[in-house]
Amino acid sequence: MTNPSPLNRDDAGASPLPVIPAQLRAVLNGIPAMVGYWDSGLRSRLANDAYCEWFGLEAQQLNGMHVRDVLGDVAFEATLPLIERVLAGEAQRFERSLVDAAGKPRFTEVTYTPDARDGAVQGYFVVVTDVTERVLADRRRQRDMDQYRALARSVPGVFVLLFDAELRYLIAEGQELETFGYRTEELEGRLIQDVLKGDLASELEPRYRAALAGKEVSWSRQIGHRTYRLKAGPVYSDDGAEAAAATGMVVAVDVTERLQQQQVWEALHEIATAVARNAAPTDISERVAAIVRELFNVDSAAVVRFTGASSAEIVAMAPALPPTLSRRHIFTPNDESATVRVALTGKPALVVYGPEGGPAAEQMRAGGFQSAAAAPVRVRGSLWGVVTLTSKSSTGVTEAMMERLAQFAELVEIAIGNTEARTDLELQATTDALSGLPNRRALELHLSEQIALAGSRGTHLSAVVLDIDHFKRVNDTHGHLTGDVVLAAVAARLRAVARAEEIVARFGGEEFVWLLPGTDGAEALRAAERAREAIASEPFGDVGFLTISAGVCEQRDAAAGSLLDCADRALYEAKNAGRNRTSRYGHATPAGQEQARPGAEGHTG
């Protein structure tokens, strides 16, 4: 490219750079940037040490050099339009990626300022600021934010909030965010004081400040029927302590199911203790009613026993039976109560009381109740009665609550049955009538003995908790009688894969426990896989193929927790990972993959 303009290199016309006074050079070197001056012929006339070091030149070498020789042909051609504009009197500001003398890429901010004197531009000043660390930090921050956002979007039951030192939300993402009454676009980029409702900002600010100070703070919050566990803490990055103190994060996790399960087990333990102490049948029923009311946070709960094909009696109610409600009730053809529906179908039921609901609904409405749910209780294979819960709101009882009530009823039915039939107490204390396996009480006795033996002998002991996947579908589709036949068949297959010295027990509902003395966790994992394959290998009559999930724990892996608790946690890991698989407590992700089998539609995990 040839051009007679002053921008073209003219080696013969270069004049030497005058010596820069020491005082001026000291000033230039004190500026935290690269400073240079180029005349209208694009010759270097002034440069501080940082400018020289960047290009790897001595001050004497740079003196009088043409800008093309310093930048190189490619960079010069890219920069030439900017140089032309600054020499025309227009200041320029831009960002540029350059390679320093060591060959490393750097990010810079550059300003060209025209030197106008006597009505003409004599040259221009260059100030180059190295912003590499800032650019890299911004990129790291963006990468971290993208990761937080992706995590929050992908994990169910979670949301993530990222905030800065001003308590401004940088990220607000997650499937559960709207449960709290907020949307992403409402929060991001805004201060907590401007967007949080009520006194929530004042409540959260101390926790956010503590997180920014490097502390971790945890708390719980109830939203409707859901419980969330929240944790606020600092965000650490490659930028070190200062960056960690400038950003904080809140992670919220829905722990409703876990807390509900814990409450159920605590309630069952209380009921089992009462049964073990030979409490009267009425006392047991009263305690069940009180526990159900507390567990489900409803206005009333009751235990009702069927006294005939079309009659029932309220055995216990919490709080006490209101005067508007009769203790004994005869069904009529137009009765629309949850209890009557269970009596007719054998399945859990949910109703909203209407004016045409019959005598039972009329009594409930007179007491101020508007909705109810009931779940069947079976004793020795027969429909014995129901556990019910009622609400004074038409929306106070939900499908999810009904399903939980059904699970709870299945777990307490043995206790109620035992209190009703003291003559069968010894048999029912050791054997599950439906499956022929040891029941839960017998299992607890065996477990205590085996733990003591393993401790005294220094031998291994493992437990496997097994659960039939989607068993509710069997009952709903084929009826509870077929469901009972399936439970007995599953029990037989499990018994067949167990060794003589091992114990397989029915823990309740569709859940079984397998104790393996002298077996470590790895061996127990393989045994559980054999059981899983045995269940999935052949169909169960008209029901078709079924699968099970299993959780494994070795006594030494249980640490401070009980052996069955830890195996049960592993079972929940397997369930959460997709069912039809086995998980070992404290070890890797659940092993095993689902096997699609002919006729398995609707019943594989």
The 3-state secondary structure of 408-438, one letter per residue: HHHHHHHHHHHHHCHHHHHHHHHECCCCCCE
Q: Whole-angstrom distance between the N-terminal and C-terminal Cα of the chain?
A: 73
Q: How far apart are the C-alpha atoms of 304 and 377, rounded to whole Å?
A: 9
Segment 162-172 shows an average pLDDT of 86
Provide the pLDDT for residue 571: 95
Supply the residues annotated as catalytic: 510
Confidence of residue 538 (pLDDT cuts 50, 70, 90): very high
Provide the pLDDT for residue 261: 74
User: Looking at per-residue confidence, does 63 or 420 come out higher?
Assistant: 63
The burial class, CB within 10 Å (0-12 / 13-18 / 19+), for 328 is: exposed
User: Looking at per-residue confidence, does 269 or 463 come out higher?
Assistant: 463
Percent of the chain having pLDDT more than 70?
85
Confidence of residue 226 (pLDDT cuts 50, 70, 90): confident
| Axis-axis angle for helices 338-345, 358-366 (nearest 10) | 150
Provide the pLDDT for residue 6: 47
Segment 573-579 shows an average pLDDT of 94
For residue range 70-120, list pLDDT tens digits in order.
888 988 998 899 999 999 999 999 887 777 667 777 888 899 999 998 889
287 pLDDT above the threshold of 90: no
Provide the pLDDT for residue 387: 92
Segment 164-173 shows an average pLDDT of 86
| 22-36, 100-114, 205-219, 279-293 — most confident range | 205-219
H-helix or E-strand containing 351?
A: strand 349-352
Confidence of residue 473 (pLDDT cuts 50, 70, 90): very high
Confidence of residue 280 (pLDDT cuts 50, 70, 90): confident
Domain with CATH 3.30.450.40 in the chain: 259-426
Cross-strand bridge partners of residue 332: none
Pairing status of strand 582-584 against strand 548-554: parallel
> Could you tell me how far CA 28 lies from the centroid of its own chain?
57
Q: How far apart are the C-alpha atoms of 571 and 315, rounded to whole Å?
A: 35
158 close to 175: Cβ distance less than 8 angstroms: yes
Segment 231-245 shows an average pLDDT of 62
Domain with CATH 3.30.450.20 in the chain: 11-130, 135-253
Provide the pLDDT for residue 420: 64
Give DSSP secondary structure letters for 452-489.
HHHHHHT--EEEEEEEETTHHHHHHHH-HHHHHHHHHH
Provide the pLDDT for residue 93: 92
From the options 3.40.930.10, 3.30.450.40, 3.40.50.300, 3.30.70.20, give the CATH code of 259-426.
3.30.450.40
Segment 263-273 shows an average pLDDT of 76
Q: How far apart are the C-alpha atoms of 203 and 230, rounded to whole Å?
A: 13
293 pLDDT above the threshold of 50: yes
Q: How far apart are the C-alpha atoms of 438 and 428, rounded to whole Å?
A: 9
298 pLDDT above the threshold of 80: yes
Tell me the H-state helices in 131-280.
Answer: 132-154, 184-187, 192-195, 200-212, 241-246, 256-276
Amino acid at 368: G
pTM, 2 dp:
0.39
For residue range 336-388, list pLDDT tens digits in order.
888 888 988 899 999 998 887 777 788 888 888 889 999 999 887 889 899 99
Task: Reduce the DSSP state of residue 403 to 3 states and report it.
Answer: helix
416 close to 288: Cβ distance less than 8 angstroms: yes
Q: How far apart are the C-alpha atoms of 376 and 293, rounded to whole Å?
A: 17
The CATH T-level fold of domain 11-130 is: Beta-Lactamase (3.30.450)
Provide the pLDDT for residue 604: 31
Confidence of residue 504 (pLDDT cuts 50, 70, 90): very high
Confidence of residue 288 (pLDDT cuts 50, 70, 90): confident
CATH superfamily of 135-253: PAS domain (3.30.450.20)
The burial class, CB within 10 Å (0-12 / 13-18 / 19+), for 452 is: exposed
Which stretch of 20-29, 79-88, 235-244 has the lowest confidence by average pLDDT? 235-244
Confidence of residue 286 (pLDDT cuts 50, 70, 90): confident
For residue range 317-328, list pLDDT tens digits in order.
998 877 777 888
51 pLDDT above the threshold of 90: no
CATH superfamily of 431-584: Reverse transcriptase/Diguanylate cyclase domain (3.30.70.270)
Q: How far apart are the C-alpha atoms of 61 and 47, rounded to whole Å?
A: 11
Task: Reduce the DSSP state of residue 595 to 3 states and report it.
Answer: coil
Give DSSP secondary structure letters for 26-83.
HHHHHSSSEEEEEETT-BEEEE-HHHHHHHT--HHHHTT-BHHHHH-HHHHHHHHHHH
Provide the pLDDT for residue 323: 77
Provide the pLDDT for residue 254: 80
Which stretch of 145-149, 176-180, 332-336, 459-463 has the lowest confidence by average pLDDT? 145-149
Q: How far apart are the C-alpha atoms of 270 and 253, rounded to whole Å?
A: 28
Segment 552-574 shows an average pLDDT of 88
Provide the pLDDT for residue 243: 43
Cβ atoms within 10 Å of 602's Cβ, excluding its own: 12
Domain with CATH 3.30.70.270 in the chain: 431-584
Which stretch of 144-158, 274-288, 512-526 has the lowest confidence by average pLDDT? 144-158
Provide the pLDDT for residue 114: 93
Cβ contacts of 408 within 8 Å, gap of 6 or more: 264, 267, 292, 295, 375, 387
Provide the pLDDT for residue 347: 92
Cβ contacts of 600 within 8 Å, gap of 6 or more: 544, 545, 547
Confidence of residue 2 (pLDDT cuts 50, 70, 90): very low
Amino acid at 6: P
